Amino acid sequence: MENDKKWYALYTKPRWEKKVDSVLVRKGIESWCPLQKVERQWSDRKKIIEDPLFKSYVFVHIDDTQRTPVLSTDGVLNFVYYLGKPAIIKDEEISLIQQYLAEKDARFNIISEEGFQEEMKIRVNYGVFMGNEGTVIRGGRKKVYVKLESLGQVMVVEFPAEYLSSADTQS
């Protein structure tokens, strides 16, 4: 039965990601809300908080029989759909995000894929993303778009320029 489980993305009410994750875990459903540490400035102090990496998204590792209990969870709006079906997230994509978040001082910016045109293709030659290809932001030599196509999201990761090479050149 474990082999039938797949990763899915859930769309949640705004600012409900951690609550939904907590309730799903209490229901015995494998759930993951990726968090990153972010410094926030208040009028009287600065504080490091854990902020959801993907706004209004939570990931669940479930089989088909668990869909109804997931959807009936308070705060869950729906599954994220891709081509008319709930989007299945590849294990490798989840693993890649987990590995990167485990790195010291990992920082992400998530931007919707819409509005960006593909430019120069690059290859990452060092670090967790080594061997992966991405698309450079116009005029940005240090930022690489790693597409998570099943989510319709683009992950922006900052790299030193020396970590990157053109995808056309063999290293």
CATH of residue 59:
3.30.70.940
Same domain, 75 and 6: yes
Domain region containing 155 = 109-166
Q: Are 28 and 109 in contact (CB under 8 A)?
A: no
* pLDDT tens-place string over residues 12-50: 999 999 999 999 999 999 999 998 888 888 889 888 888
Q: How many CA atoms lie within 13 A of 24 on its CB side?
A: 26
User: What is the enclosing helix (H) or strand (E) of 17?
Assistant: helix 17-26
Look at the chain and report how many structural domains it folds into: 2
Q: Are 105 and 27 in contact (CB under 8 A)?
A: no
DSSP single-letter state for residue 61? E
**143's tokens:** 């930022």
CATH of residue 151:
2.30.30.30
Q: Are 163 and 128 in contact (CB under 8 A)?
A: no
Same domain, 82 and 113: no
pLDDT at 154: 65
* pLDDT tens-place string over residues 102-160: 876 666 666 544 433 345 566 666 666 666 666 655 444 445 555 544 455 666 666 65
Say how far residue 168 (Cα) sits from the centre of its chain: 27
